[in-house]
């Protein structure tokens, strides 16, 4: 049986849910399909915390951040759910771009100031600061789980159909206004097929599948190479519950051998009820998203503990809970957001996309509606 549809969004993580919200509140008929259940941990949109990090120097990203901040507040007002806590973000370490970033932030209406390590350490004693600190008070922490749930509820309130446990088995472009989407209902517990495949004939399809993007549409869309890795941050228990914590990014000094054990720069934030989250950025093993182990690589974990011991005096390096998530990374770590005929693709958010979610949803919706083009930096034709 084939059912005609207007817009089908494949993938109900952050970006797909934001696209469904944006489209539904424009009055479009939207069906959002998600393979797993609400709050699942198989992809990149779960968990209780992401940094709302403003430290970009590129105009494309800064314009999206300027748009995303009020959109997050619109979502909160519409859903009644708090998702963004502006606790600020402190960057430190050997990052030569700090001055350029501070200047760019001021151009886009964001505040940014420099603190000495002593000033920052007095304000946030849970962190040992390396160098001068670039502090952004309008930055903060996003609750990822709450945000995805709020986006889906808000989309549904505008008439979108949200279907979990609906795995898309195939997408076939028939014509400029016809895309066949084969949907396999699956059991909520076993993940095995629970009913016959049904087919939706959609005028437009938005593909926001994260780690599964290449698997499903790589043969029909000229995607850049997307590498899927299993990342392994951790939550470390706090020693003193009265301490305040900003989000933070810490860049190593490549000329100082005391940083030789680092795998990359470190990002982190306090997650209420869970501890201080810290992690290496984009250093995990390359994986098949359908064959993940969810098991940490021991040497990276030990190095992360050492980092906590040396640089987070407010956290207990020996009391932690591991986290497993995926990054889907493009060759230049810039996003892939573009259209290819009746398909619209959002992918390759490379471990730094969540903060932009509602603005990316708007871009995806515009592409569906044929108004405006994708940012050149994110185009399928971009030189990467």
What is the tens place of the pLDDT at every residue in 2-50? 899 999 999 999 999 999 999 999 999 999 999 999 999 999 999 999 9
Does 171 have pLDDT greater than 90?
Answer: yes
Please provide the average confidence, as pLDDT, over all residues in the chain: 97
Domain membership flag for residue 236? no
CATH code of 377's domain: 3.50.50.60
Residue located via tokens 């890795």 = 229
Q: Looking at residue 212, what is its pLDDT?
A: 98
Q: Looking at residue 76, what is its pLDDT?
A: 98
Q: Looking at residue 1, what is its pLDDT?
A: 77
Q: Looking at residue 92, what is its pLDDT?
A: 98
Whether residue 104 contacts residue 93, with contact meaning beta carbons closer than 8 Å, is answered with no
Q: Alpha carbon of 143 to those of 26, 52, 321: distances in Å?
A: 25, 10, 18
Q: Looking at residue 105, what is its pLDDT?
A: 98
Does 315 have pLDDT greater than 80?
Answer: yes
* Alpha-carbon gap, residue 71 to 121, rounded angstroms: 33
Domain membership flag for residue 219? yes
Q: Looking at residue 282, what is its pLDDT?
A: 96
> Which domain range does residue 38 map to?
1-48+143-225+332-384
Does 210 have pLDDT greater than 90?
Answer: yes
Q: What percent of the chain has pLDDT over 70?
A: 100
Query: Average pLDDT in the 200-207 region?
Result: 98
Q: Looking at residue 22, what is its pLDDT?
A: 98
Whether residue 321 contacts residue 232, with contact meaning beta carbons closer than 8 Å, is answered with no
Q: Looking at residue 372, what is its pLDDT?
A: 85
Helix (H) or strand (E) holding 286: strand 285-286
Domain membership flag for residue 288? no
Whether residue 14 contacts residue 142, with contact meaning beta carbons closer than 8 Å, is answered with no
Does 81 have pLDDT greater than 90?
Answer: yes
User: Residue 66 carries which DSSP code?
Assistant: H
Please list the residues that pair with 133 across neighbouring strands: 115
Domain membership flag for residue 170? yes
Q: Looking at residue 165, what is its pLDDT?
A: 98
Does 381 have pLDDT greater than 80?
Answer: yes
Domain membership flag for residue 21? yes
Domain membership flag for residue 76? no
| Number of structural domains the chain divides into | 1
Query: Average pLDDT in the 365-377 region?
Result: 95
**Structure tokens belonging to residue 64:** 């999206």
What is the tens place of the pLDDT at every residue in 83-140? 999 999 999 999 999 999 999 999 999 999 999 999 999 999 999 999 999 999 999 9
Q: Is 11 helix (H, G, I), strand (E, B) or coil?
A: coil
Domain membership flag for residue 42? yes
Query: Average pLDDT in the 303-312 region?
Result: 98
Domain membership flag for residue 250? no
Q: Looking at residue 236, what is its pLDDT?
A: 98
């Amino acid at each position: 049986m084939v059912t005609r549809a207007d817009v089908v969004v494949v993938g109900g993580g952050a970006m797909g849910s934001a696209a469904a919200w944006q489209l539904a509140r424009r009055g479009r008929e939207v069906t959002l399909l998600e393979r797993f259940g609400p709050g699942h941990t198989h992809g990149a949109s779960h968990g209780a915390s992401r940094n709302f990090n403003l430290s970009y120097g590129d105009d494309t990203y800064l314009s999206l951040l300027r748009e995303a901040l009020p959109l997050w507040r619109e979502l909160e007002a519409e859903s009644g759910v708090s998702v963004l806590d502006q606790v600020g973000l402190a960057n430190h370490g050997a990052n030569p771009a700090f001055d350029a970033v501070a200047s760019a932030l001021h151009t886009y209406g964001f505040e940014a100031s420099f603190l000495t390590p002593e000033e920052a350490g007095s304000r946030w004693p849970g962190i040992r600061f390396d160098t001068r600190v670039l502090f952004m008070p309008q930055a903060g922490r996003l609750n990822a789980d709450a945000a995805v749930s709020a986006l889906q509820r808000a989309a549904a309130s505008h008439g979108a159909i949200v279907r979990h446990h609906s795995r898309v088995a195939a997408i076939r472009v028939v014509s400029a206004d016809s895309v066949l989407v084969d949907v396999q209902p699956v059991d909520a517990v076993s993940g095995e097929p629970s009913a016959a495949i049904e087919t939706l004939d959609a005028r437009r399809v938005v593909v926001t599948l994260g780690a599964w993007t290449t698997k499903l549409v790589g043969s029909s869309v000229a995607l850049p190479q997307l590498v899927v890795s299993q990342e392994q941050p951790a939550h470390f228990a706090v020693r003193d519950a009265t301490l305040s914590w900003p989000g933070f990014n810490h860049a190593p000094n490549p000329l100082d051998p005391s940083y030789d054990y680092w795998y990359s720069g470190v990002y982190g934030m306090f997650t209420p009820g869970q501890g201080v989250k810290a992690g290496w950025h984009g250093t995990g093993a390359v994986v098949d998203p359908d064959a993940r182990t969810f098991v940490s690589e021991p040497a990276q974990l030990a190095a992360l503990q050492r980092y906590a011991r040396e640089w987070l005096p407010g956290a207990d390096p020996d009391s932690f809970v591991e986290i497993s998530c995926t990054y889907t990374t493009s060759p230049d770590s810039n996003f892939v957001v573009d259209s290819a005929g009746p398909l619209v693709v959002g992918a390759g958010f490379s471990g730094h996309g969540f903060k932009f979610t509602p603005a990316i949803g708007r871009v995806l919706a515009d592409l569906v509606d044929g108004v405006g083009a994708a940012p050149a930096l994110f185009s399928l034709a971009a030189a990467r």
